[in-house]
């Protein structure tokens, strides 16, 4: 099962990738919003884990663009960011982000968020 991580910080990307691979997921990596949109369109992952502070377009705008495309609109997007949730919760929800994980995120929280949204997308 494919999960796309869109994350520009190499350490954060590597840690999250290792956690997800340990959980048995196939990981696709993108280091910018534009790259992430292209990879989501090409690979159709089951979930996107999106950093919000990206170098080109931020994660909220990238999510809006994913949600506008019929090809990727159904994919749950989970924010994984150092941005304070209370400052961005409303904008993130309006964009289509289904869950907000604040870095550093314990592996059990990552797992529970993924399982929650995988099971809801199966229904």
Looking at residue 51, what DSSP letter applies? -
Q: What CATH number did the domain enclosing 29 receive?
A: 3.40.50.2300
pLDDT per residue over 37-62, tens digit each? 999 999 999 999 999 999 999 999 99
pLDDT per residue over 73-108, tens digit each? 999 999 999 877 677 788 999 999 999 999 889 999
- State mean pLDDT over 1-12: 96
Count the domains in the chain: 1
First vs last Cα of the chain: how many Å apart? 17
- What H or E segment, with its residue span, contains residue 78? strand 77-81
pTM: 0.94
Structural domain including 31 reads 2-122
């Amino acid at each position: 099962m494919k999960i796309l991580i869109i994350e520009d910080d190499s350490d954060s990307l590597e840690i999250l990738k290792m956690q997800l691979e340990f959980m048995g997921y196939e990981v696709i990596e993108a280091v910018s919003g534009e790259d992430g949109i292209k990879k989501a369109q090409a690979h159709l992952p089951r979930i996107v884990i999106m950093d919000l502070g990206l170098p080109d377009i931020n994660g909220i705008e990238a999510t809006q663009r994913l949600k506008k495309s019929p090809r990727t609109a159904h994919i749950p997007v989970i924010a994984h960011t150092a941005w304070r949730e209370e400052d961005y919760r409303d904008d993130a929800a309006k964009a289509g982000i289904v869950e907000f994980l604040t870095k550093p995120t314990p592996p059990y929280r990552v797992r529970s968020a993924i399982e929650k949204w995988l099971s809801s997308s199966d229904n």
